[in-house]
Chain A
Amino acid sequence: MTLRTVFIEAAYLAASLLFILGLRSLTMPDRARRGMQLAALGMLVAIVGTLLHHEIVRYDWILAGLALGTVIGYPLGVYVPMTAMPQRVAISHMFGAIAATLVGVAEYWRLGNGMDVPRPVMAALGFEVLFGALTITGSFMAFGKLQGILPSRPVTFRGQNYGSMAIFVTAVGLFAWLVARPAIPNAFYAMVALALVFGVSLVLPIGGADMPVVISLLNSYAGLASSATGFAIGNNVLIIAGALDGASGFVLSIIMSRAMNRSFTNVLFGAFGAAPEASARTAEGLTVHAITPEDAAIQLGYARKVIIVPGYGMAVSQAQHQVRELASLIEKNGGSVVYAIHPVAGRMPGHMNVLLAEADVPYEKLKEMDEVNDEFKNADVALVIGANDVVNPAARTDKGSPIYGMPILNADQAKQVIVMKRSMNPGFAGIENDLFYRDNTAMLFGDAKQSLAKVVQEIKQG
Chain B
Amino acid sequence: MHGLQLLEIYVFVLAGFVGFFTITRVPALLHTPLMSATNAISAISLVGSVVMAGANYGLLATVLGFVAVTCATINVVGGFIITDRMLKMFRRGGRPEAKK
Distance from A216 Cβ to chain B, minimum over Cβ atoms (Å):
7
B interface with A by C-beta (< 8 Å):
1-5, 8, 11-13, 15-20, 22-58, 60-94, 97-99
Additional A-B contact list (14), CB under 8 Å, known A72-B78, A88-B36? A39-B40, A53-B54, A56-B51, A76-B82, A98-B67, A121-B1, A222-B42, A239-B12, A245-B41, A248-B19, A350-B35, A354-B33, A354-B86, A360-B97
Listed by A's residue number, 15 A-B pairs whose Cβ atoms lie within 8 Å are: A65-B66, A73-B74, A77-B79, A88-B82, A96-B42, A107-B61, A219-B39, A222-B42, A225-B45, A235-B47, A238-B45, A244-B22, A247-B18, A350-B31, A357-B89
Q: How large is the interface on A (under 10, 10 to 19, 20 to 34, 35 or more residues)?
A: 35 or more
The answer, yes or no, to whether A93 is at the interface (CB within 8 Å) is yes
Distance from B44 Cβ to chain A, minimum over Cβ atoms (Å):
4
Chain A residues with CB under 8 Å of B23's CB are: 23, 247-248, 251-252
A229-B48, A368-B27 in contact; A102/B67 too (CB < 8 A)? yes
Chain B residues with CB under 8 Å of A85's CB are: 32, 36, 86
Distance from A153 Cβ to chain B, minimum over Cβ atoms (Å):
24
A70-B73, A77-B85, A237-B47 in contact; A247/B16 too (CB < 8 A)? yes
Chain A residues with CB under 8 Å of B99's CB are: 360
Distance from A176 Cβ to chain B, minimum over Cβ atoms (Å):
16
Does A350 contact B45, Cβ atoms closer than 8 Å?
no
Chain B residues with CB under 8 Å of A58's CB are: 54, 56
**Complex-state Cα separation, A239 to B7, whole angstroms:** 11
Which of the 9-residue segments A27-35, A154-162, A193-201, A396-404 touches chain B?
A27-35
Distance from A24 Cβ to chain B, minimum over Cβ atoms (Å):
5
When each residue 74-109 of chain A gets 1 if its CB lies under 8 Å from chain B and 0 otherwise, what string results? 111110101001001100110110111011011101
A103-B52, A252-B35 in contact; A110/B58 too (CB < 8 A)? yes
Does B75 contact A103, Cβ atoms closer than 8 Å?
no
Interface of A is mostly: helix
Which 9 residue pairs of A and B lie closest in terms of their CB atoms, listed nearest first? A69-B73, A77-B81, A65-B69, A247-B19, A120-B4, A350-B31, A362-B93, A73-B77, A350-B32
A92-B39, A105-B64 in contact; A234/B77 too (CB < 8 A)? no
**Complex-state Cα separation, A39 to B43, whole angstroms:** 12
**Complex-state Cα separation, A88 to B49, whole angstroms:** 22
A77-B81, A222-B42, A368-B27 in contact; A61/B65 too (CB < 8 A)? yes
Does B22 contact A102, Cβ atoms closer than 8 Å?
no
Distance from A369 Cβ to chain B, minimum over Cβ atoms (Å):
8
Chain A residues with CB under 8 Å of B19's CB are: 23, 243-248
**Complex-state Cα separation, A96 to B73, whole angstroms:** 9
A349's partner among B32, B47, B63 (CB-CB below 8 A) is B32
**Complex-state Cα separation, A252 to B23, whole angstroms:** 8
A61-B54, A362-B92 in contact; A92/B78 too (CB < 8 A)? yes
**Complex-state Cα separation, A7 to B90, whole angstroms:** 37
Closest chain B residue to A250, Cβ basis? B20
B55's partner among A57, A68, A93, A99 (CB-CB below 8 A) is A57
Distance from A139 Cβ to chain B, minimum over Cβ atoms (Å):
10
**Complex-state Cα separation, A143 to B82, whole angstroms:** 17
Closest chain B residue to A240, Cβ basis? B15
A77-B81, A252-B31 in contact; A96/B69 too (CB < 8 A)? no
B35's partner among A225, A348, A358 (CB-CB below 8 A) is A348
The answer, yes or no, to whether A322 is at the interface (CB within 8 Å) is no
A47-B46, A354-B89 in contact; A245/B38 too (CB < 8 A)? yes
Does B20 contact A251, Cβ atoms closer than 8 Å?
yes
Chain B residues with CB under 8 Å of A236's CB are: 8, 11
Distance from B57 Cβ to chain A, minimum over Cβ atoms (Å):
4
Closest chain A residue to B36, Cβ basis? A89
Closest chain B residue to A101, Cβ basis? B68
Which of the 9-residue segments A14-22, A261-269, A379-387, A435-443 touches chain B?
A14-22
The answer, yes or no, to whether A310 is at the interface (CB within 8 Å) is no
Does A106 contact B57, Cβ atoms closer than 8 Å?
yes
A51-B50, A65-B69, A343-B28 in contact; A43/B80 too (CB < 8 A)? yes
| Most chain A beta carbons < 10 A, residue from B62, B63, B89 | B89
A219's partner among B30, B35, B72 (CB-CB below 8 A) is B35
Chain B residues with CB under 8 Å of A205's CB are: none
Does A69 contact B32, Cβ atoms closer than 8 Å?
no
Does B36 contact A92, Cβ atoms closer than 8 Å?
yes
Does B74 contact A76, Cβ atoms closer than 8 Å?
yes
The answer, yes or no, to whether A233 is at the interface (CB within 8 Å) is yes
Closest chain A residue to B20, Cβ basis? A247
**Complex-state Cα separation, A252 to B37, whole angstroms:** 13
Chain A residues with CB under 8 Å of B16's CB are: 243-244, 246-247
Chain A residues with CB under 8 Å of B29's CB are: 29, 341, 350, 353, 363, 366, 368
